[in-house]
Amino acid sequence: MLAGDDGYLEGMTEPLIAVLDIDGTLVDSNYQHALAWYRALRSVGVTHPVWRLHRLIGMGGDQVVKAVGGDELEARVGDRAREEQGKQVDAMLDEMTPLPGARDLLVAIKERGHRLVLASSGQQRHVDFFLDLLDARDIVDDWTTSSDVEASKPAPDLLHVALEKVGAPPDAASVMVGDSVWDVEAAKKAGMPAIVVRSGGFGDDELERAGAIAIFDTPGDLAESLADTPLS
């Protein structure tokens, strides 16, 4: 389904750089992350409803604690909560699976001649797990991890680094594929149009207000409709 201004589709017939989020966009992991944050915060004496934490998934882990409880909470428990959240994610990795058509989407993008970078602010061990889960190392041109940036989404830094990974300037012709309003906001700040899949659990109205130009149920649906997007 297309949303927003079809002008993004005009004149984009040359190969682009496709910047894809991994966690939650290609791999079904958002609700596990929400539960991991719930458990991590409980471990440091802070309780917030899981649904509120889910609304923050897609935002970088360096941002979540501050978003939950402000600067005071970040200063008091931020590092401990992030460390515990990583351990909680470790325990649930075997429950995470590729979303329908995730690898097909990667192959379809590459077959159309585009360069492909997976942009993740996840920890190195989790990104390695997802790359192997998707059998993606031989398909993608490069990828990022949390060690590549200081400020994660919704800041645009991660997307800028993704372009740098393939030797492209910040204004290179590119498209972001994500699953959350935080992905869309980061893409907007980076000057990229954003395509979204619904696995982030956000409403279409929210994604469109944030600036998404197209919304699909699954990565496989996007793969089948690339001709209707800037990745045609």
Same domain, 119 and 90: no
Q: What was the pLDDT predicted at 13?
A: 58
Q: Which domain covers residue 69, as residue numbers?
A: 30-95
- What is the CATH number for 212? 3.40.50.1000
Going by C-beta distance under 8 Å and a sequence separation of 6 or more, which residues neighbour residue 151? Answer: 60, 62, 157
- What is the CATH number for 69? 1.10.150
Tell me how far CA of residue 37 lies from CA of 42, 59, 105, 178, in angstroms: 8, 12, 29, 20
Same domain, 91 and 101: no
Q: Pick from 52, 76, 95: which residue ends a domain?
A: 95
Please tell me the pTM assigned to this model: 0.91
Residue 171 lies in a domain: yes
Q: What was the pLDDT predicted at 91?
A: 97
Same domain, 197 and 118: yes
Same domain, 129 and 148: yes
Give the position of tokens 């979204």.
196
Q: Pick from 95, 119, 136: which residue ends a domain?
A: 95
Going by C-beta distance under 8 Å and a sequence separation of 6 or more, which residues neighbour residue 183? Answer: 21, 25, 58, 153, 176, 194, 196, 200
Same domain, 141 and 57: no
pLDDT in tens, the chain (232 residues): 444 444 444 445 578 999 999 999 999 999 999 999 999 999 999 999 999 999 999 888 888 999 999 999 999 999 999 999 999 999 999 999 999 999 999 999 999 999 999 998 888 999 999 999 999 999 999 999 988 987 788 889 999 999 999 999 999 999 999 999 999 999 999 999 999 999 999 999 999 999 999 999 999 999 999 999 999 8
Residue 154 lies in a domain: yes
Same domain, 12 and 65: no
Number of domains, the chain: 2
Same domain, 212 and 114: yes
Same domain, 64 and 168: no
Are the beta carbons of 76 and 193 closer than 8 angstroms? no
Same domain, 42 and 64: yes
Same domain, 73 and 154: no
Same domain, 105 and 122: yes
Residue 1 lies in a domain: no
Residue 142 lies in a domain: yes
Same domain, 146 and 181: yes
